[in-house]
Each structure stands twice: as C-alpha cells, then as structure tokens.
C-alpha cells in the first residue's frame, strides 16, 4: 500500500508540474502576443469626436498674403521642433507649401518665407486635399488632430523604439502625421492625382 501512495504522490507532482509548465507556456504566449499587438498597426474607424475643434493656428501676414494671391497649397509638410532663442526654449514651425500646378514650392520658418523654389511635376494634376496648414498646431494630441482635420478613420503604426521612442505614424485619407509621446511633431499631406494622358 505504501508503494501505491508513493505512486499517487509522484503522479500528483507530475500533474502539478505539467500544469505549471502549461501555465508558464500560456503566460509566455500571452505576453509575446501582447508585445506583438502593441507593435502592430491598428485601424480605427467611425470616429465620433466629442469635443469642439481646437483653436486654429494663426497664419502670418506673409502666409495670408500667399493664400490671397494663389490659394491653398496642393500639398504641404509641417515640422514642429524645439529651438532656442536668447537662452529660452521656443517652439519652431517649419512649413513647405507645394503648388504643383504653378510649379512652386514655398517654405516658411515660423510664418516667415525662407524660400520660393521651382518644382517640376510630371505626375499629373493633384486633386484638392481636404486639409489646410492652419488646422495643425504644435504638439496637438491625437484627439485634437482628429477633430481639427475631420478625420473619420486612421491607421496607427508604432515606430521602432530605437528610431523614435514613443513614436507613432498615423495615416488617414491623404494625410500622414507623426506623434512622439502623444504630441504632434510632423504633418504631411499626400494628395491623389488625376492621371496624365500620354
């Protein structure tokens, strides 16, 4: 009878060990799945923003003059970063407005024109984008961007931590923007084009 009790104890230990191994494997699996999920792109749709749009960026006199002369750009890029002026930290806004139909690309640094260059476009005529540079302000959060730009669905792609820690690239219709730690750092429009017939 004693040997039967030892066998039962051994079987009990084997069952406990098996259960522990299975639990450990499941924990590892769930952890790795969670890590993979956090690093994978995610699609969000049917957004119903619950707050009013944030205050728009106030265009400079220089930018307002360009808008009144030739209208909104066919495409634009905006980069926000911190700089230093007289020992104080300041926000810097670098913008490039592209007018493919006019063959012009105008850049602004904090609203002041810094270049007006010729660009060649052989792709075709861009279809008007639904976004304006003044919709975006430095360090907006995702919800503010969604409301300001009227975004209905978007795809979030986490960046490799080695490239930009806490960075995400978000794609919406004809728009891409980058966030770091939840704050807007970069915006770029991606207009669609009407095909050029040969």
Q: What is the pTM of this model?
A: 0.71
Please tell me the predicted confidence (pLDDT) of residue 142.
92
* C-alpha span between 23 and 9 (Å, rounded): 21
Other beta carbons less than 10 A from residue 142's beta carbon:
18
Name the nearest CA neighbour of 79 among 189, 185, 190: 185
What pLDDT, in 10s, does the model give residues 106-151?
999 999 999 999 988 766 778 889 999 999 999 899 999 999 999 9
Instruction: Mean pLDDT check: name the lowest of 24-33, 109-118, 176-185.
Output: 24-33
Q: Tell me the β-bridge partners of 158.
A: 168
Cα separations (Å) of 94 from 11, 79, 106, 159, 188?
71, 5, 11, 22, 12
Tally the residues of the chain: 198
Name the nearest CA neighbour of 112 among 177, 73, 66: 66
* C-alpha span between 116 and 136 (Å, rounded): 22
- Confidence tier at 48 by pLDDT (50, 70, 90): low
Give yes or no for a contact between 133 and 95, defined as CB atoms under 8 angstroms apart: yes
| Residue ranges per structural domain of the chain | 2-40, 44-195
State how far Cα 174 lies from the chain centre: 12
| List of long-range contacts for 88-91, beta carbons under 8 Å, 24+ apart | 91/138, 91/139
* C-alpha span between 129 and 131 (Å, rounded): 6
What pLDDT, in 10s, does the model give residues 140-172?
999 999 999 999 899 998 888 778 888 899 999
Please tell me the predicted confidence (pLDDT) of residue 26.
64
- Report the SS3 class of residue 19: helix
Name the nearest CA neighbour of 47 among 133, 144, 129, 132: 144
């Amino acid at each position: 009878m004693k040997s039967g009790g030892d066998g039962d104890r051994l079987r009990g230990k084997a069952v406990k060990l098996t259960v522990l191994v299975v639990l450990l494997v499941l924990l590892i699996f769930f952890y790795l799945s969670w890590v993979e999920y956090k690093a994978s792109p995610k699609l969000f749709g049917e957004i119903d923003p619950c707050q009013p749009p944030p205050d728009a960026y106030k265009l400079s006199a220089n930018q307002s003059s360009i808008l009144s002369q030739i209208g909104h750009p066919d495409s634009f890029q905006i980069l926000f970063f911190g700089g230093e002026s007289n020992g104080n930290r300041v926000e810097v806004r670098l913008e490039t407005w592209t007018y493919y139909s006019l063959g012009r690309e105008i850049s602004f640094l904090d609203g002041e024109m810094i270049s007006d260059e010729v660009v060649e476009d052989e792709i075709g005529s861009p279809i008007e984008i639904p976004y304006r540079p003044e919709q975006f302000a430095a360090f907006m959060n995702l919800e503010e961007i969604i409301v300001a730009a009227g975004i209905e669905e978007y795809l979030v792609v986490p960046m490799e931590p080695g490239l930009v820690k806490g960075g995400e690239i978000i794609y919406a219709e004809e728009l891409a923007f980058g966030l770091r730690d939840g704050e807007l750092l970069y915006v770029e429009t991606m207009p669609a084009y009407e095909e050029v017939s040969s």
